Amino acid sequence: MSFLGLSSGRPKTAKRPGNGSYAQKQYLLKEYAEQTLGSGNLRLAVHLPEGEDLNEWLAVNTVDFFNQINMLYGTITEFCTPQDCPVMSAGPKYEYHWKDDSQFKKPVRVSAPVYVDHLMTWVQSQLDSEVVFPSKIGVEFPSNFKTEVNDIFRRLFRVYAHIYSTHFPVIVSLGEEAHLNTSFKHFILFVKEFDLIDPKELAPLSDLIESLLAQSKN
């Protein structure tokens, strides 16, 4: 289990597979997202482009946020160890136990780095699945695709929550504060735009979220 490259501190990134016109479509959507982000208007950046398929937009952004969060966490892996973070938490009131449909069918208490490694490996398996994230031309997304995306975003949020609650001083010392805040603000605006996470799940960072959303209105 070394998806995040915890020993080397060099996390991997994911790309959606594709070919032909489908791959070109993926590329154009990604380019559009990057251009709107470059404008500095994050609210505009999360909107579904006119005439585009919602599921495809969700898919492209799921990959993007997965890569962003993976890279952000990669900057603090040497500080997030089983000794320093024996549980996956977001402050003293929120603790996360790992559960999946294969190896851990019941929730299990693991250290933060082990939890994140399981999480990222699981997300990667979802992205690689032709059943969940089809890459072939003419193959439709599954009927429960939005539910699958919701589950991915719900779990990815927990990495942000852990970083902010436990490792923010390190983020500041590394000069990554602005990058983290912009990434998280973009994430939350996207989540709100498409109703991807139950508000109760966002409680650990509710004050920060309220502040960021207020800023985005200015």
Q: Give binding residues as ranges.
A: 80, 85, 162, 167
d(CA 93, CA 11): 29
Which residues make up each annotated binding site for Zn(2+)?
A: 80, 85, 162, 167
CA-nearest of 209, 185, 202, 157 to 41 is 185
The partner residues of 108 in beta bridges, in order of sequence, read 98
Give the DSSP per-residue string, 83-129: TT-SSEESSTT-EE-B--SSS-SS-B---HHHHHHHHHHHHHHHHH-
Distances (CA, A) of 135 to 24, 30, 67, 130, 164: 12, 15, 18, 7, 34
Give the chain's end-to-end CA distance (angstroms, integer).
44
Contacts of 213 (CB under 8 A, 6+ apart): 188, 189, 192
